[in-house]
């Protein structure tokens, strides 16, 4: 009963670890000192000592009980440590035999007690006090031994032995309980983490569903409203319709703010950089906010510097969201005067431009003491004065977090009652050299002028299927595409769609994502694999109410040819349809310039993303015909000379480099591309593939790009790096094998597993004329190079377990060494895969190559022999007169 009571106190969830350990140590200390009291009574010690021990035990127990009952464990631990350090242990030292008694062992226990029960400055203080007490006691024992009461030999041994046993038991029990409590805390933490993750998932699912449910009716409103604007209506009705459109878009903007705040809070927000037109983006912003300014009789001005690049690379959606929030805020808090947006060019470095957006208003301004709270969520400054102003209170909080996420900064200049200026700096990459020039964006704000919709193509022979469980959405898409004259069919569920695709071929299928029973992704996969289905090759576009980069990545990975976010505009829908329809079924009505603009940057017309792309480096030494045949993306290594840095194989070629190195004073080095270059390379190739397997040169070689590639791949979930353990065309053979596995339909993880087996079958070796170039590259010492050259030694360099070493050494004339090398490498023809042999060389003549081919064919026959000139990076290490035979051994 007592044990259960103590256990419940120790494991009380309201106590932290130190407080719980105080309870444990109090229990074991009281038990130990009770046994010591019994020991004194049995051994018949002096009554004064027994009374002293009883008093200490009573006082310690009383303090512990009061501290535990009133949850004052920290105070109790300080009092107990104070009593032990400065009273009980010094007295015990003097009365129980000094250094020969049991007190030294209890001093150790006191240090353990302080370590476990105290923290911070208190712990340090009692370490010092304990050390002071020990020094005083030991000094008394040495300088005034007469003050120490000596015990007989038996008593001293019994006391010290029992103290040792009790202290060991106390510490052991304490550590056992501490370990258990740690495990309980870890378990509780894991359970809480799982619970938090589940709550986050539930919250995200709720917001996602909310977004879908709200966007669906807004899609109907905006879609049907657009059909009204297409009709021959009065200017008054048109203006009302335009106001409906503007209000609907603002409602969507508020919904996006709430969703984004949730993502930012959970750390799930990701940026999606794209190439965008800066003028068009600013025009969109003006179109959305000009009416709101007009309603309040405010002037709305935009000033754009003509040297702003026409195209920038950044997260257009988030940049637009930032500017809309700040401008909307300025309009809300300005009752008269004007609101202006200025866009200027900032610092430019390494292709990155700091674009400076300044938003100035003549509103009420912000109090100085309120500025620190300006970017807090759900909070308004000067609440009493601004209580009548609408809004969620999320705008500026989201702005601050987005700007920080994009690596920018935001500053505020404000004079209360006179106005405010927000200055936002966002670094963006420049795409192209064209500047925006002198444009009048304000002229585009005349939203009250109705622009007639013009259908730019007709496709009466095209068959289109629209799949959506919401009848209103089907109606909207049908009406928006009515003027294109396509043969449009609708399906209200995935099962209905599968029934239709079984009997009819459709050029394009628009597929809603969230549908009951079978969602859009499942339906798309079912159509692709449908037995007897007629739409396996149809172009499928996702229609979704879930906006954001994560949705885009999802549809891209799942294999959709495109995606459109609800609410859908007629122009975007027509452009997407035109992009995907075969050219032979479309008839252009007007200029096709606008039609050909893509709505999705990651998908080109007529091009479907491959499942897995193989990439490698220029040092793989592959013939261009094989690179083109297997569509292998090549990332060049870099060659560094006194004249500059050159891309391997692109800006410098092997023969020119060898001629340059004929001068012994010329220093040449090499290295892989930077992490930044690697990231850009992977990002570019992911436009055309769902996954990338990068075949890298052996990580065991100097200046290998493997580790850089691994670091760059951390930015992507679908990029894998494979260490070939080889170089040159041995490395290239691994890339070709990876392409073969891709063609067989293997998954990325299966390809990686098979490549691990295949790399053991690759034979990579070179015979070199001398070691001069290796010495210059720092691979061997100059002394070794001179010795081998003087004795006409021609080493064979062999790749073994990822490292380059010397296999054999041949002596004598070049031709003799070459003959022996070829005979040795092709000694067992039955073990060699005869499909491909690479003869990779540096600085050989045609006569040399003819002689090598003839010698190889005397030994055995290969289906294909490629004589491949080594890349400049390989040549830097080997020098003229080097060649190698590289092939696969049979399984």
Residues whose CB falls within 8 Å of the CB of residue 302, separated by 6 or more in sequence, listed in order: 282, 286, 340, 341, 342, 343, 441, 442
Measured over the CA atoms of residue 878, residue 880, residue 885 and residue 887, the dihedral's sign is positive
How many residues in total does the chain contain? 891
pLDDT digits (tens, 9 = 90+) for 126-165: 899 989 988 988 888 888 888 887 776 777 777 788 888 8
Candidates 244, 250, 215; CA nearest to 228 is 244
Please give the pLDDT value at position 499.
93
Token representation of residue 3: 């044990």
Q: Mean pLDDT: which of 39-43, 164-168, 278-282, 354-358 is highest? A: 354-358
Q: Residues 601, 604, 605, CA angle at the centre, nearest 5°?
A: 135
Residue 381 pLDDT greater than 50, yes or no: no
Residue 800 pLDDT greater than 60, yes or no: yes
CA distance 690 to 712: 17
Token representation of residue 615: 């990439």
CA distance 474 to 488: 10
**CATH architecture observed for domain 610-758:** 3-Layer(aba) Sandwich (3.40)
604 confidence band (pLDDT: 50, 70, 90):
very low
**CATH architecture observed for domain 457-588:** 3-Layer(aba) Sandwich (3.40)
Residue 781 pLDDT greater than 50, yes or no: yes
Q: Residues 345, 411, 445, CA angle at the centre, nearest 5°?
A: 55
Please give the pLDDT value at position 391.
42
850 confidence band (pLDDT: 50, 70, 90):
very high
Tell the residue number behind the tokens 């501490």, with chain if given: 178
Please give the pLDDT value at position 696.
94
Token representation of residue 766: 């070179």
Tell me if the pTM is above 0.85.
no
229 confidence band (pLDDT: 50, 70, 90):
confident
Decide: helix, strand or coil at residue 640.
strand
Residues whose CB falls within 8 Å of the CB of residue 184, separated by 6 or more in sequence, listed in order: 11
Decide: helix, strand or coil at residue 834.
coil
CA distance 249 to 288: 8
Average pLDDT, the chain: 80
pLDDT digits (tens, 9 = 90+) for 519-539: 999 999 999 889 889 998 899
- Which residues pair with residue 615 across a beta bridge? 633, 694
CA distance 514 to 209: 9
HSE (side-chain half, CA atoms, 13 Å) at 484: 27
Q: Are 658 and 871 in contact (CB under 8 A)?
A: no
Give me the phi and psi of 265, to 5 degrees please: -65, -35
CA distance 122 to 114: 9
CA distance 528 to 654: 48
CA distance 374 to 396: 7
CA distance 38 to 56: 14
166-188 average pLDDT score: 84
pLDDT digits (tens, 9 = 90+) for 428-446: 999 877 888 776 665 555 4
477-494 average pLDDT score: 91
Least confident of 432-441, 463-472, 765-774: 432-441
Q: Are 543 and 471 in contact (CB under 8 A)?
A: no
Candidates 496, 466, 467, 469; CA nearest to 482 is 466
Please give the pLDDT value at position 754.
95
More confident residue, 96 or 471: 471
Candidates 808, 803, 560; CA nearest to 699 is 803
**CATH architecture observed for domain 765-888:** 2-Layer Sandwich (3.30)
Candidates 236, 337, 250; CA nearest to 292 is 250
Give me the phi and psi of 864, to 5 degrees please: -140, 130
26-38 average pLDDT score: 81
Please give the pLDDT value at position 857.
92
Q: Are 166 and 32 in contact (CB under 8 A)?
A: yes
CB atoms within 10 A of CB 750: 12
Decide: helix, strand or coil at residue 591.
coil
List Cα–Cα distances, 165 to 22, 40, 103, 105, 377, in angstroms: 21, 16, 13, 10, 60
Residue 448 pLDDT greater than 60, yes or no: no
Q: Domain 273-445 adopts which CATH fold?
A: Heat Shock Protein 90 (3.30.565)
765-888 and 457-588 share a CATH fold: no
Q: Are 518 and 493 in contact (CB under 8 A)?
A: yes
Token representation of residue 433: 């050299």
CA distance 535 to 539: 8
> Domain map of the chain by residue range?
2-191, 273-445, 457-588, 610-758, 765-888
**What is the H or E stretch that residue 588 is in?**
strand 587-588
Q: Mean pLDDT: which of 192-196, 618-622, 802-806 is highest? A: 618-622
Candidates 214, 248, 212, 220; CA nearest to 544 is 212
561 confidence band (pLDDT: 50, 70, 90):
confident
275-297 average pLDDT score: 82
Residue 284 pLDDT greater than 90, yes or no: no
- Which residues pair with residue 421 across a beta bridge? 360, 413
268 confidence band (pLDDT: 50, 70, 90):
low
Tell the residue number behind the tokens 């009554």, with chain if given: 47
């Amino acid at each position: 009963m007592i044990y259960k009571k103590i256990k419940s106190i120790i494991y009380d969830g309201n106590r932290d670890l130190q407080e719980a350990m105080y309870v444990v140590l109090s229990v074991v200390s009281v038990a130990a000192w009770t046994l010591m009291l019994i020991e004194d009574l049995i051994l018949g010690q002096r009554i004064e000592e027994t009374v002293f021990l009883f008093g200490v035990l009573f006082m310690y127990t009383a303090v512990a009980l009061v501290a535990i009952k009133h949850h004052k464990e920290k105070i109790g631990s300080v009092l107990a440590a104070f009593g032990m350090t400065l009273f009980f242990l010094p007295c015990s030292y003097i009365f129980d035999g000094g250094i020969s008694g049991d007190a030294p062992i209890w001093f150790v226990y006191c240090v353990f007690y302080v370590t476990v029960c105290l923290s911070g400055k208190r712990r340090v203080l009692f370490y010092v006090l304990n050390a002071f007490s020990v020094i005083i006691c030991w000094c008394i024992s040495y300088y005034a031994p007469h003050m120490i009461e000596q015990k007989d030999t038996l008593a001293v041994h019994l006391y010290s032995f029992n103290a040792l046993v009790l202290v060991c038991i106390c510490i052991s029990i304490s550590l056992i309980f501490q370990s258990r409590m740690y495990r309980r805390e870890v378990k509780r933490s894991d359970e809480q983490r799982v619970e938090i993750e589940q709550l986050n998932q539930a919250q995200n699912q709720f917001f996602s569903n909310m977004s879908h449910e709200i966007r669906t009716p807004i899609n109907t409103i905006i879609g049907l409203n657009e059909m009204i604007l297409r009709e021959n209506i009065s200017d008054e009705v048109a203006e009302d319709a335009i106001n409906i459109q503007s209000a609907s878009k603002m409602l969507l903007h508020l919904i996006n703010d709430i969703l984004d705040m949730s993502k930012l809070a959970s750390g799930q927000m990701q940026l999606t950089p794209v190439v965008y037109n800066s003028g068009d983006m600013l025009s969109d912003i003006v179109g959305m906010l000009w009416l709101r300014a007009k309603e309040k009789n405010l002037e709305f001005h935009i000033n754009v510097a003509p040297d702003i690049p026409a195209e920038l690379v950044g997260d257009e959606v988030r940049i637009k969201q930032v500017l809309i929030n700040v401008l909307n805020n300025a309009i809300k808090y300005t009752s008269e005067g004007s609101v202006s947006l200025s866009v200027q060019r900032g610092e430019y470095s390494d292709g990155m431009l700091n674009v400076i957006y300044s938003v100035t208003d003549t509103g009420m301004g912000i109090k100085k003491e309120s500025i620190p709270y300006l970017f807090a969520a759900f909070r308004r400054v000067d609440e009493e004065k601004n209580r009548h102003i609408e809004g969620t209170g999320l705008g500026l909080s989201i702005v601050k977090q987005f700007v920080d996420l994009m690596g920018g900064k935001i500053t505020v200049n404000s004079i209360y009652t006179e106005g405010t200026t927000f200055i936002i700096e966002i670094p963006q990459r420049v795409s192209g050299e064209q500047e925006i020039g002198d444009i009048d964006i304000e002229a585009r704000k005349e939203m009250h002028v109705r622009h007639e919709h013009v259908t730019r193509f007709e496709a009466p022979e095209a068959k289109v299927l629209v799949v959506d469980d919401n009848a209103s959405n089907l109606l909207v898409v049908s009406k928006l595409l009515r003027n294109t004259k396509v043969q449009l069919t609708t399906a209200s569920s995935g099962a209905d769609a599968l029934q239709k695709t079984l009997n009819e071929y459709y050029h394009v299928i628009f597929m809603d994502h969230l549908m009951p029973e079978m969602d859009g992704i499942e339906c798309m996969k079912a159509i692709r694999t449908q037995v007897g289905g007629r739409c396996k090759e149809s172009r499928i576009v996702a229609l979704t109410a879930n906006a954001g980069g994560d949705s885009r990545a999802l549809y891209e990975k799942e294999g959709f040819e495109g995606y459109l976010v609800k609410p859908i505009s007629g122009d975007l829908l027509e452009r997407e349809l035109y992009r995907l329809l075969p050219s032979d079924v479309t008839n252009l009505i007007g200029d096709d310039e606008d039609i050909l603009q893509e709505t999705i940057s990651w998908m080109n017309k007529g091009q479907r993303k491959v499942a897995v792309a193989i990439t490698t480096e220029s040092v793989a030494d592959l013939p261009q015909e094989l690179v083109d045949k297997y569509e292998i993306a090549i990332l060049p290594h870099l060659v560094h000379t006194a004249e500059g840095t050159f891309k391997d194989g692109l800006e410098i070629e092997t023969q020119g480099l060898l001629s340059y190195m004929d001068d012994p004073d010329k220093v040449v080095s090499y290295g892989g591309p930077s992490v930044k270059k690697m990231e850009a390379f992977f990002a570019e190739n992911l436009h055309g593939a769902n996954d990338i397997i990068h075949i890298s040169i052996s990580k065991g070689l100097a200046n290998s790009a493997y580790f850089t590639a691994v670091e760059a791949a951390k930015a992507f979930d679908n990029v894998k790096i494979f260490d070939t353990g080889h170089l040159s065309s041995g490395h290239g053979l691994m890339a070709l094998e990876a392409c073969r596995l891709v063609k067989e339909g293997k998954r990325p993880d299966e390809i990686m597993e098979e490549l691990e087996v295949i790399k053991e079958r690759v034979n990579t070796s070179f015979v070199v004329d001398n070691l001069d170039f290796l010495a210059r590259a720092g691979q061997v010492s100059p002394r070794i190079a001179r010795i081998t050259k003087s004795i006409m030694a021609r080493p064979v360099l062999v790749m073994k377990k990822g490292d380059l070493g010397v296999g054999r050494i041949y002596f004598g004339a070049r031709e003799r060494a070459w003959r022996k090398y070829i005979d040795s490498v092709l000694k067992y023809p039955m073990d060699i895969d005869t499909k491909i042999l690479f003869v990779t060389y540096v600085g050989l003549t045609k006569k040399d190559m003819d002689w090598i081919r003839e010698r190889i064919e005397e030994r055995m026959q290969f289906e294909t022999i490629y004589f491949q000139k080594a890349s400049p990076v390989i040549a830097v290490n080997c020098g003229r007169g080097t060649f190698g035979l590289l092939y696969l051994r049979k399984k």
